Chains A and B, each alone.
Chain A
Amino acid sequence: MTFVDWISAPVNWVFTIIGLVVIFSGFRVVTSRNIVHAALYLVGALGGTAGLFLMLSAEFVAWVLVLVYIGAVIVLFLFGIMITRAPTGLDESLNSDHTALPALLASGFFLMMSWASIDAFGTQVIDSTGEPVPTEIIGESLFGRFVIPFEVVSFVLLAALIGGITLARRDLSPAEEEERSAV
Chain B
Amino acid sequence: MLLSQFLVLAAALFAFGIYGLLVRRNIVLILLSVELMLNAVNINLIAFESIWVSPEAIGQIFAIFVITVAAAEVGIGLAIVLMIFRNRKSANVDDLNLMRW
Contacts and interface: CB of A to CB of B under 8 A. Distances in A.
> Do A and B come into direct contact in the complex, CB within 8 Å?
yes
Interface residues of A, number: 90
B71 A141 contact: no
A153 B76 contact: no
Interface residues of B, number: 71
A56 B6 contact: yes
Contact of A146 (B5, B13, B61): B61
A173 interface: no
Chain B binding surface SS class: helix
B3 A22 contact: no
A53 to B, nearest CB: 5
A128 to B, nearest CB: 6
A58 B91 contact: no
A115 B7 CA distance: 10
Contacts of B17: 26, 30
A73 B35 contact: yes
B85 A122 contact: no
A60 B60 contact: yes
Contact of B86 (A29, A126, A170): A170
B45 to A, nearest CB: 9
Nearest to B85: A84
A61 B46 contact: yes
6 contacts: A19-B5, A49-B42, A96-B23, A138-B57, A157-B72, A167-B83
Interface of A: 1, 6, 9, 11-12, 15, 19, 22-23, 26-27, 29-30, 35, 38-39, 42, 45-46, 49, 52-53, 55-58, 60-61, 64-65, 68-69, 72-73, 76-77, 79-81, 83-86, 93-96, 98-99, 101-103, 105-107, 109-110, 113-114, 117-118, 121-126, 128, 133, 137-138, 140-142, 144-146, 149, 153, 156-157, 159-161, 163-165, 167-168, 170
Interface of B: 1-9, 11-29, 31-33, 35-36, 39, 42-43, 46-47, 49-51, 55-61, 63-65, 67-76, 78-83, 85-86, 91, 94
